[in-house]
Every structure is written in structure tokens, then in C-alpha cells.
Chain A
Amino acid sequence: RNMDVEASLENYFDQTIAGSSDYIFEGDLGLQGPAPRLQDSSFLSSLTSQEKDLTEDLDLSFLPDELGTQDEPSQAENLSRNEDSGIYTDCPPRESTEADTDTSNSAQNASQFNLPMTPMTPMTPMTPVAESSGIIPQLQNIVSTVNLACPLNLKSIALQARNAEYNPKRFAAVIMRIREPRTTALIFSSGKMVCTGAKSEEQSRLAARKYARVVQKLGFPAKFLDFKIQNVVGSCDVCFPIRLEGLVLTHQQFSSYEPELFPGLIYRMVKPRIVLLIFVSGKVVLTGAKERSEIYEAFENIYPILKGFRKQ
């Protein structure tokens, strides 16, 4: 069984973007890591391709016509290439409901060029569209991986660290925990690390950096390569009971409801590719996302379906 868990954890690493070292860490670690490959055009295109998936779902009709030529909302790097539009745009905060729901007003908004001017970095979470449901899923767990890029002596780590567990007969990794952000890390002898338990992407990154620092202080030349968020888990409450038996009948291609095995209904949404656990109490757990926007989108997709099964 150990093998299965290890194999599935290792799978995380198979999917890292080839050749992209997004968060190469030089400052804190005081190391001379490989120079950031910003000049590498493939790195930039990989970034923009990530953003493209996001933007396909964004309604940008409110943007003024002059910006219509730009494919994606800005990134600092992208803008340095476009000499003409020295404009930074952000997905404007969605407090203004007219922008999305009423397209006739889009012309109005377009003429008023009052968009906030903040640069958007790739990891900035998108503000969720709250008008349709009024409920925003809370993030509960973030799983991320990072490559420390040096072989590690797990016995030595377990001996020198206060917060480490190592039981090679049960599992071939050191289990380390830190208090803030409250997280757990699995550190493998290959130098790869999995960090779980954080409540936001930034917390996960901070925690992973702290673990890397601990490993460094224990005498290993740890780097911080290929940091990637692998899974985002969110949950929320729709505040009404749900007829799961009805839902599984109408959405049988996506749903699996076996009360003898699990009390919740397992809904596998295709777009975005998210798995939702829906319970009779109205609580919903969403998992399998690589970004928090997928969680928000999935919930907005499921909410009208669930409302249909609200029984008075």
C-alpha cells in the first residue's frame, strides 16, 4: 500500500511544466541558483498559455475597445513587449454588477476609462463572481510540491530536526510540521517535497520555503525549484437540504451516489475538471483544482443545479 501512496505522490512531479522554473529562489537561500530563464521564450509562452485558459472564461466585454486587441489581461513581462499599450489592467473587482450581467451597459463602461491600474501577477487569485450565488467557497487545503534538487539523508534529518517523523518501514519519507502556517510536509530522499495543509496559495509557498530553509540549516544544499500548486480544496454551505437521489437520476453521467459506501454524492464536473462532494445537509466540498478560480467556477456551475433540488 505504501507503494500506491508513493506512486500517486510521485505523479505530482510528472506533470510539472518542462523547463519552467517559475520560482527559482535566490534571495533568501543565499544561493546562486540557475539564472531565471525569463529570456527563454518558451517560459513566457507557458505562462501565457496558462493565462489563456483563465481568460477563455472571462467576460471581457466591458473593456474599452482600445484594449480589445490584447489577448490576455496584462502581465508585466507581456507589457514590456507591447510598446504601445503601456496600460496595466486587472480583472476589475466585481462589485460593479452591471459589468457582467448587463451587456448593454458595457458600452457605457467602455467609454469611461476608469479601470483600476494594478499589474496582475500570475499567482494573484481571481476575485470570485459572487452575485449569482452570493456564496464564496472557502479554501480549506492547498497541496503543493517543490524540488529541493539535492539528495537528502532522511535519517540525518529526522535526527536533527525537532518537528520530524521518520518511519522507513511505514513510509519512505520524513514527515515534518511547522506551526505557522500550520502545515505538514513530506520530504523524500530524492529531494522532492510535498507541502499540505495551507489555506491559501501564498501560505503554501511560505510554508514550503520555511521547510526548505530548515533542510538547508541541517546542512543540505537545498534549492527551491518548480514550486507548483497541485491541488486546491474548497468547501461551502448552500444552506438548504439537497435531494441526492434526485440529483443522481438527472445527472447520472456525472454523479455517483452509493449511500452504502459514502453518504455524499460524488459529482465529477467536466468543465472545469473538478470533483464535488455534495451532502444532504447542503455542504459541498470541491477538490481537484489547480487554481482557486476553478473552485469558484465549479461552484457557480453547480449552484443552480442544486437549487433545482431544493425541497420546501
Chain B
Amino acid sequence: MPSSCPECGSSNVVEDDLYSQRQWVCVDCGSVVSEGHLTTTVSDETQGRAVPYHASTEVLKKPCRNLIAGFSRVRALCRILRLSSDMESAVVSLFERAYNHPNFIFVTLTKKEILGGCCVLSVCRQCNWPVAMGTIGYLLGVDNATLGTVYREFTKALNIEISTIGIMDMLESFCYDFKLGPQQVEEVFAEPPQRLVDRTSALIELAADAWIVTGRQPLPLLFAAVYLAWQSLNPTVRMKYTFVKFCKIGKAPEQSWHRSRDSVVKRLKELRDVLCKLGRELPWLRGGTVEPNTVVPLVDDILKNHRALLLRAVRNYEQQLQNESQTAQTTECDNELSDSNRSESHSSTTPELMDPDQAGCENPADKQATDCQLPPDHWSKRHLFLPPCVKNRKRQRVDAPQLEVTGDEEISDSEIESYIRSQDEIEMYLKVQKELKKMA
């Protein structure tokens, strides 16, 4: 700290900074006695800050860290799904586009992860190797609903045309996920993939004809169909293995089927019921009973002749309906009697064609587990095969009686006052609120 000015000799030297540079100036003659050094090395900078990209004059933006992480994640997804290298590069470029899109650049990191999954989904569909949303979902650890929302936003923002995929398109990639090659499992369990695909495909076609497929989640149905197909290709040995055991044998990743286990069980039941309805039409069984738990050995025969069996089943059902309506007309008063007669003739030669649910509807006495509440003349009675949501209507829809108003009626004061608290009520309410606040 200089004490005297070299020019005039005065000792009146003060610190008077020029902008942010420290200077010592003589008050009397105004000369600069000494000045602080502007630092020249980075280490001397104590208040330095990196200049952000948007404030700099840099032309090319370096990809941000999250984008790089996103790339590696997306590539990992492609490798797990065993996509071709062309598809992988398409996914990566699509992801870059999506990531930098104004709608997605500022979203949360989880959403950016999901965005990566959406890119994979989109490219897979475009390249005709569709992957189920549920598959992407379990790989990313998100549910279908969240994935769906992001997917919709993504296709809208990037103007991508959504091509619809059918369950059959997903079949092949799905079947190849199961490791049932002869080298991978025991001889009795092994199944060449193509055979499995063919058998599963036939089962799903049958399911589609019987209205089990439309409107349902495809994955549980695919699981059920693959399982039944696998069983039916060697029923004597494989009948005793449950669905869970099958998944373990085929080394299907647990997260993929674990959540939808209940749906798979339901689909299995529905599939077996359809197979039973058709199995009963096999002429060489001569009207013997066909039960859901023993129908699997018959699957081979059923699938071979499924068209003929379908026709027979539907025709027989219509015949049955005609007979019933005739008997209902002629024996009106003996309605209950004829009902009981029909239930007695269960074990007779004519195979029981009526859906057990519908039988329940016509005999209100025997309450079925499904508790179906369809009115007796509902249109669904005319069809043998129907979407389950029609047959299993649990609750009777009650249409409230229509209020006939003009909109201009007089509104009574008393009615309006019934919606307003009295002074006492308000005071009580405020008192209680205060007490609650004191307690909290």
C-alpha cells in the first residue's frame, strides 16, 4: 500500500478503483500511484464462470449429457430387442429429432427415457417388426397408460403417422422370445420356433373368430395362446405343467408376464371354453362331454377342422334356439316345468350347446357365478360366440327417467335456500375448523 505520491510527494493517496481495477491515486496531483494487476492466469480468477452456450458466440452446440445418455439407453433397448443395425440407426436419429423438439427439450428425465421407448416403438412399426407397448413398458418400467400418453404426444409433435398393428404381426417376435430350442431345454419340452408360431397363430385365429381378441390387451392373449399351443403339441407329457412353470421352462422374463398373470388366466379359461364348444362337435366323440381341463389333447383335431366345427356349432345352436322358442310358445303356462325338464336332460344325447351363462339367465333359480343380468330377450342370446363383455354384463344399466323441462321454469326460493347454510351452521363449521387447526 503506497504511502506517498512519487510525483508531488503528498501522502494523501487513496484507493480509487477504475471500474473493477484497483488503483491508488494521489488526491493532490491526480497521478496514478499504482494499480492492481489484471489477472492473467485462470487459477487467479476467483469469480470466473463458464459462459453458457446461449450467451456465447459458439456456432455448433455440443450434444448435452442427457442426450448422450439417452442415445446409449436407446441403443441398449434396440440390442435387447435384437433389432437390425438399420433399425437401430433409424431409432437413434428419430430420438435425436424428438429430444431436440421444443415440446420435449424441457421435459423431465423420466419422460425423456420414455421418449426413447416411443422412438423404438415407432420405428419397429414402420419396419414391420412390431413390438408390443407392453414389452417396451416392462423394459422401461412404466405402465401402458404413461407410455401411451407420451407416445401420442410424440406422434403428434413429430407428425408421425401411426400405423395400426394387429396381434398377428406381434406373434412371431413374441414366440421367438421363448427359449424352447432343442439345445436349450429338455427333449420333451423342446419345440422348434416355427411349429410354435404356426400352432399359436391357428389358435389366435380361432380366438379372433370367437370374439376373444378384439378390444383386449394382446399380450395376455399371446401368452395364453403360446402356452396352449406348446401343451397341445405334446399333450401327454406337457399337460401337467402350469402356465407359470411353462414361462420358467421357456425362460420368459418374469417382468413381462408377472403383472398380467391374472389376465392370462382369464384368457386361458375363455380359450378353453371356445375349444370345448368346438370339441363337442367332433363327430367321433359322439356327444361325449368335453371339459376345459381335458380339451387340450383334442386341440390338434379341432384346429384341423375348425371351419367345419364352427359351422356345425353355430348351426346346432340356432337349431336349439328354434326348438326352445317353439317349446316356449306351446307350453307357456308350464314354463317352469319345461325349464326343469331341460336341466334334467343335461346328460342326454344332445350335447349341451348353451352357454352356461345364458342357461343361468333363463333359469333364474340357479344363480351362476358370473351373475349375468341380461334381460331374457337380449340380442346376444341369438349368438353362440360373442365378445365376453356382452355376455358378462354384471350390472343392469338403469336409465334415469328423463326430466321434461323447458329450461325456463320458475325456481323456488325454498329450493335454493336448501343449498345454503344457516348462520348457526356456519358458526359451527368455523368453530370446528379452528379446533382442528389448534389440534394440528
Contacts and interface: CB of A to CB of B under 8 A. Distances in A.
Interface string A197-217: 001111111100110011001
Contacts of A213: 411, 416
A188 interface: no
B405 A200 contact: yes
A264 B405 contact: no
A249 interface: yes
Contacts of A181: 403, 405
Interface in B388-414: 389-390, 399-400, 402-403, 405-411
B140 to A, nearest CB: 14
A252 B390 CA distance: 26
A160 B425 CA distance: 9
A159 B387 contact: no
Of A182, A252, A280, most B-chain CB atoms within 10 Å: A280
Contacts of A259: 167, 214-218
Of B167, B208, B403, most A-chain CB atoms within 10 Å: B403
Nearest to A255: B164
A302 interface: no
Given A214-B420, A281-B390, A261 B148 contact: yes
A contact residues, range:
35 or more
Interface string A280-292: 1110000000000
Contacts of A38: none
B415 A260 contact: no
Contacts, number: 122
B203 interface: no
B166 interface: yes
A260 B133 contact: yes
Nearest to B393: A281
A280 B426 contact: no
A217 B132 contact: no
Contact of B420 (A123, A160, A202, A280): A160
Nearest to A257: B164
A206 B407 contact: yes
B397 to A, nearest CB: 10
Interface stretch (A59-67, A82-90, A106-114, A237-245): A237-245
B215 A264 contact: yes
A138 interface: yes
Contacts of B416: 210, 213-214, 217
Given A138-B399, A209-B411, A279-B389, 6 more contacts: A160-B420, A182-B400, A213-B411, A217-B417, A217-B420, A264-B215
Q: 6 nearest interchain CB pairs?
A: A205-B407, A202-B407, A280-B215, A261-B148, A263-B215, A280-B214
23 contacts: A160-B420, A160-B426, A161-B421, A162-B421, A200-B405, A218-B420, A241-B214, A241-B390, A242-B214, A243-B214, A245-B214, A252-B164, A256-B164, A258-B148, A258-B164, A259-B214, A260-B134, A261-B133, A280-B211, A280-B389, A281-B389, A281-B390, A282-B390
Interface of A: 28, 123, 138, 159-163, 176, 178, 180-182, 199-206, 209-210, 213-214, 217-218, 239-245, 248-249, 252, 255-261, 263-264, 279-282
Interface of B: 132-134, 144-145, 148, 162, 164, 166-167, 208, 211, 213-219, 379, 383, 386-387, 389-390, 399-400, 402-403, 405-411, 415-421, 425-426, 429-430
